[in-house]
Structure 1
Amino acid sequence: MKAGQNIMDNEILNFTERLIPISDFSKGKTSRIFDDVKNNNTEYIVLKNNQPTAMVISLDSYRELVEKASKMETLLDKIEEIRLFNIASARSEKAEKTKDFEDVISEFGFTKEEIFEDMDDVEIE
């Protein structure tokens, strides 16, 4: 048997040992499960009708997950700020190359007054 297969078999075995039916909580096994979670930092997946429904994790693991999630959210916010700053910077650079509205309409032979006069006659569907 290959070493990789052994590792995978052990992981599957460990995973299946962490699956517990919800009925175990009413069979007096709750204390043992909670002790294992607290003392060994074991995580359990609770099954209801043979479907994963909840997880039992230690308070330390929960706090660590909340802290990591908070840091990840802050990181994503910073990434979004940088992205928006880059967009704004690129637009700012382009703004130097853009023309005023008046320049554009005069290139087409119109004046502002002509455009605003005819606006009431324009119908947008």
Structure 2
Amino acid sequence: MLDNISISNIMNSLVPISRFNKGEANKIFEELRETGFKIVLKNNSPACILLTPEAYDQMLETIENYRLFIEAEKRMSSATAEDFIAADKAMQELGINDADLEDTDVELE
């Protein structure tokens, strides 16, 4: 929903706060469902951003993924060869063999 943000979309998403005062909240919320976000203007300055719950969840997930990426980058930049363990050694220590993994589905995000 927020994937195609352009200047045109942003301009069409500007909503003067006076529209709320005129009883147009339902219409604004319908528009919000279509666009994913609205920028509410008060005295021609952004006062708040309205987001759909889906757009908000997407934003939070993106922030969390970025935070995890930064953490992984930090760890990798300070890692040494001694910090790593071979997969076969890890499996041996955990008592896992290839047969145990054959019918296992793994989903990576």
- TM-score (normalizing by structure 1): 0.53
Shift of 1:70: 0.6
Are the equivalent residues in 2 in contact too, given 1:43–1:57 (CA < 8 A)? Answer: yes
Matched, 1:22 2:17: yes
Residues 12 and 68 of structure 1, relative CA distance in 2, 3 Å threshold = closer
Q: Mark the runs of 5 or more structure 1 residues left unpaired by the alignment.
A: 1-10, 90-125
Aligned pair partner of 1:53 in 42, 47, 62:
47
Aligned to 1:8: none
Structure 2 letter corresponding to 1:57: L
Structure 2 letter corresponding to 1:56: L
Are the equivalent residues in 2 in contact too, given 1:45–1:54 (CA < 8 A)? Answer: yes
Structure 1 letter corresponding to 2:43: N
Looking at structure 2, the residues matched to 69 and 53 of structure 1 have their Cα atoms a distance apart, in angstroms, of: 22
Structure 2 letter corresponding to 1:19: L
Are the equivalent residues in 1 in contact too, given 2:15–2:39 (CA < 8 A)? Answer: yes
Higher helix share: 1
Aligned to 2:68: 74
Identity within the alignment, %:
26
Higher relative contact order (CA 8 A, sep 6+): 2
Instruction: Select the structure of larger CA radius of gyration.
Output: 1
How many residue pairs were aligned?
77
Looking at structure 2, the residues matched to 71 and 13 of structure 1 have their Cα atoms a distance apart, in angstroms, of: 28
- Runs of 4 or more above 2 Å deviation: 11-17
- TM-score (normalizing by structure 2): 0.60
